[in-house]
Structure 1
Amino acid sequence: MSLSRRFLNLIVGDLIPGTRSLCRIDMMRQQFFRAPSPPPPAGAGGGSETPPEAASLMMEQLQLPNPILRFEAQAAHHMWSINWFPLVDGKVLWADQSGRTFLFDANTRDFVTVPNFQSRKWDPISLFVPNAVNGDGSLFLMERVPSPEPLSRTQTSKQFETIVFGMPTTAKSQLLPPPPYLRDNNYKHRCHKITAYGVVDGGSQIFISVEDVGTYCLDTVSHTWSQVGKWTVPFHGKVEYVPELKLWFGLSADSQRLAAADLSSMDSQAPQLVGDWKDLERPLECEEFKESQLVNLGSGRFCIARFFKTMQTSDDFGDEDDFGDEDWQSFVILTNVEVTHCVHDGNCSGDAGSGGNGQVKLEMNKHKSLRHMSDGTGIDDPI
C-alpha cells in the first residue's frame, strides 16, 4: 500500500498565549512506515528484555521542524481561543474568538479569506464532506456538547453550521437545524456529549452518536435529521472510512484501541466491532491527560497520538525529594500502524480476494513510534 498523504500536519502550542503554529512532518523522510524489525531470537543478548511498558523511554525523539504558519488570536478582554478544522489536501480552516477566519493551503502556502461563522462555536467538532464534481466540499461544524434548546419558530440552530466551499475561492455559511433530541423535553435537563461522529453513505450522510441519547444521521443535501437507533456506535471520537478495506476505523469506546466496524447499514441493531488492536503499552508511572487522536493517512494507514504526563519532584537543589515541588512533564507518542487483509493460510496482503480458501481477517502491523517531549512547543493536535 502506498501513502495517500506525504505530510502529517501538527498543530503546536508554544509559550506565547493565544498562539498556535502549524508544523509539517515529511513521513517519507521520517520513514514512518519502514518495515518493522524482526523480533530477536529467543535467548539472544543474554540479558533481560525491556518491559513493553518501559519501551517509550527508548523511543526515537521527534524533532519538530520550523513552523510554516503561526496564528495569533486577537485577544478580547484577555480571552482568546483558536480553532482549526482540517479540510482536504493540506487545507486547514482557522478561526479565533473575534471572528477572524481564513483558509490556509499548506501545500501552496496560500491564504484565502473566508466569511465569518454565523455564530461562535465554543468547543466544536468538524466533518468535511468533499464534492466529487469539483474537488471542493462542505465543512460541517457542531458543538461537542450542545445545549438543549427551547421550542422555536426558527428551524435552525446556532450550534450547528455548514460552510460550503465553491469555485474558485468562494465560500458561504449556513446554519443547520439541530438534531430533534435537543428540543425534546425528555432531554432538556442536562447536556449530552457527542461521543462519536463520521461520514457514511458515500458522503450523503453524516452521523453523530450522543451519550445516553442515541445515534442520528444528517442528510448532507436536504439537511434533515433522522434517528437511526437509541444505541451509540462502539467508537469514541472521529470515525474514518477506508475504501480499500470497506470498513470504518476509529478508537474504540471502551479501551481506546484502534478498532474497525461496518457502518454501511445502520438499522435497529448497533454495529459491532470486527477487530481491535493494541498499538502501545502505557509508559511506566504516566497517565494520559488528553483524549487520544487518530489521523487517517489513507490506504489503511494511521497515526495515533497519545498524550501523557509524568510527575517529577525536585527540591531547590534539583534533586528528587519527597518534599519538593511537583512538576508535570508532558509528552506525546505518535504511533504509526497499518491495517491489511490477512488470509490465514500463510499469506497476508491488502487484497481480500487472494489467498485461496483461507479465512480472511484483518491484521494490524505496527511501524515506527516517535516521542516528543514538551519543551514549550507541545503538540496539541495531529491533523
Structure 2
Amino acid sequence: MSAPKWCPSLSLAVDGQDGAYVIEAAPQADGPGRRSVEALAYDRKPVDDDDDEDEGWVWRALAPPPYVREPGYGDDEGGRSGKITCHAAEGARIWVSTAGRGTYSLDTASDAWTKAGDWALPFRGRTVPVPEHASRLWFGVSASNAGKICASNLHAAANEGRAPAVDQVWDGFAVPEGFHDLEPHSYVVHLGDGRLCVAKFFETTRQEADDDWTCRRCCHGYVSECAFAMFTGVEVEPGAGRWHRLIRHRSLRYSLGTDRVPVSVL
C-alpha cells in the first residue's frame, strides 16, 4: 500500500475486476502518510511500451468519501458519525453506509463517489445481493439485532430516494450464550446459486486485573481471553411473491486463540 491503514479496515472485491479495494472503516481526508481508500490492480503494460519495468500489481490511491471534507467532521470523537457500519460490492459499485453521514456508493469505473441518501442501510458488517432471484434482495446481519439475518431491496429504495425497508427477517444466528458478539465483525458472503455463508466472530472475556493493560474507553474494563469464528451455511429459496425461504445448514466453530481478533474476511 502507499500508506498504512488504521484498524479496522474493509476489503472488497469487485465483479469482473482483478485485485481488491481497501477502505478504512473510519475514513479521513488524505494527508501526509494518510490514504483512506486504495485499490490494488494489475498494471498491464501496452505491447508497444519500451519501459524496462515489468508489469505487476500496484496500489492506487482513491479519494475518500466526500463527507470527510464536511465542516465539523472528525470533531465527534474522531469522526464516529462517519464510521462505516455496513459495506457491500455489486457490479462495478461499492456501497458504504455510515452511522450518521448517510449512504454512499463508489463507481469503480470512474472512481467517483455518489451520495445515495441521508439514510443508513438496515445491515451491519458486509451485506450481499443475491442476483439469482428476480426480487434483487440484499441479505445481511440485521443492524438492530446481530442474531438475525434480514433482507432489503436497496435498488428500489435508492431509485425512489427513500430509506430501504426490511422485507424479511430470520432468527437463529446469535452467538452461543456466554460469549461476547464482536458486532462489527459480521459478514454475509455470497457463494453463488442462492447459497450464502454467514460469518460471525465472538470472544470470551474476563474482568481486567490491576496488572492488565487495556483501553478502558473502548474495552470497558474487560480483557479478551479467546476469539472464535462461526460459519453457517444458508440457502435462499424463492417463495410466493417477494417472500423467500432461508434454509439454515450446519454451523462450524473455529478457535482463533488469543490476540487474534480478525478484522476482515475475503
- TM-score (normalised: structure 1): 0.52
Show CA shifts across 1:253-275 (max 9, x none).
Answer: 11122222222241420111221
In structure 2, what is the equivalent of residue 121 of structure 1?
5
In structure 2, what is the equivalent of residue 179 of structure 1?
65
Structure 1: distance between partners of 2:255 and 2:74? 43
For structure 1, the residue ranges without an aligned partner over 5 or more in a row are: 1-116, 314-325, 344-358
Structure 2: distance between partners of 1:331 and 1:177? 35
Deviation at 1:164, TM superposition (A): 2.0
In structure 2, what is the equivalent of residue 244 of structure 1?
132
Q: Select 2:119's aligned residue among 231, 243, 246.
A: 231
Return closer, same or farther for 1:276/1:138 CA change in 2, 3 Å cut-off: same
For structure 2, the residue ranges without an aligned partner over 5 or more in a row are: 46-54, 208-222
Report the 3-state secondary structure (helix = DSSP H, G, I; strand = E; otherwise coil) of the residue aligned with 2:67: helix
What letter is aligned with 1:198? A
Structure 1: distance between partners of 2:226 and 2:40? 39
Structure 2: distance between partners of 1:328 and 1:171? 38
Return closer, same or farther for 1:328/1:230 CA change in 2, 3 Å cut-off: same
Give 1:2-21 correspondences, 5 Å limit: none
**2:164 matches 1:253:** no
Larger Rg: 1
In structure 2, what is the equivalent of residue 144 of structure 1?
25
Contact kept? 1:331, 1:378, Cα under 8 Å: no
What letter is aligned with 1:142? I
Return closer, same or farther for 1:364/1:182 CA change in 2, 3 Å cut-off: same
What letter is aligned with 1:218? L
What letter is aligned with 1:184? E
In structure 2, what is the equivalent of residue 333 of structure 1?
230
Return closer, same or farther for 1:302/1:206 CA change in 2, 3 Å cut-off: same
Structure 1: distance between partners of 2:110 and 2:141? 30
Return closer, same or farther for 1:180/1:194 CA change in 2, 3 Å cut-off: same
What is the RMSD computed on CA atoms of the aligned residues? 3.1
Structure 1: distance between partners of 2:205 and 2:195? 33
Deviation at 1:373, TM superposition (A): 4.2
Higher relative contact order at CA 8 Å, sep ≥6: structure 1 or structure 2? Answer: 1
Give 1:1-383 correspondences, 5 Å limit: 117-123=1-7, 124-131=9-16, 136-148=17-29, 158-165=35-42, 170-190=56-76, 191=79, 192-200=82-90, 202-203=91-92, 205-245=93-133, 246-256=136-146, 257-265=148-156, 266-267=158-159, 268-289=161-182, 291-310=185-204, 328=225, 330-343=227-240, 359-373=241-255, 380=262, 383=266
Contact kept? 1:149, 1:183, Cα under 8 Å: no
Deviation at 1:176, TM superposition (A): 1.1
Deviation at 1:143, TM superposition (A): 0.8
Deviation at 1:283, TM superposition (A): 2.6
Deviation at 1:231, TM superposition (A): 0.8
Contact kept? 1:119, 1:158, Cα under 8 Å: yes
Structure 1: distance between partners of 2:58 and 2:197? 32
In structure 2, what is the equivalent of residue 347 of structure 1?
none
Return closer, same or farther for 1:331/1:238 CA change in 2, 3 Å cut-off: closer
Report the 3-state secondary structure (helix = DSSP H, G, I; strand = E; otherwise coil) of the residue aligned with 1:340: strand
Tell me the matched-pair count: 229
- TM-score (normalised: structure 2): 0.73
Structure 1: distance between partners of 2:155 and 2:250? 31
Deviation at 1:167, TM superposition (A): 5.5
Structure 2: distance between partners of 1:276 and 1:340? 14
Percent identity between matched residues is 30
Structure 2: distance between partners of 1:180 and 1:254? 26
Return closer, same or farther for 1:332/1:171 CA change in 2, 3 Å cut-off: closer
What letter is aligned with 2:144? D
Report the 3-state secondary structure (helix = DSSP H, G, I; strand = E; otherwise coil) of the residue aligned with 2:72: helix
Structure 2: distance between partners of 1:140 and 1:374? 25
Return closer, same or farther for 1:378/1:297 CA change in 2, 3 Å cut-off: farther
Show CA shifts across 1:97-120 (max 9, x none).
Answer: xxxxxxxxxxxxxxxxxxxx1111
Structure 2: distance between partners of 1:312 and 1:194? 28
Structure 2: distance between partners of 1:370 and 1:249? 20
Report the 3-state secondary structure (helix = DSSP H, G, I; strand = E; otherwise coil) of the residue aligned with 2:3: coil
What letter is aligned with 2:12? L
Deviation at 1:378, TM superposition (A): 6.8
Deviation at 1:195, TM superposition (A): 1.0
Deviation at 1:198, TM superposition (A): 1.5
Report the 3-state secondary structure (helix = DSSP H, G, I; strand = E; otherwise coil) of the residue aligned with 1:264: helix
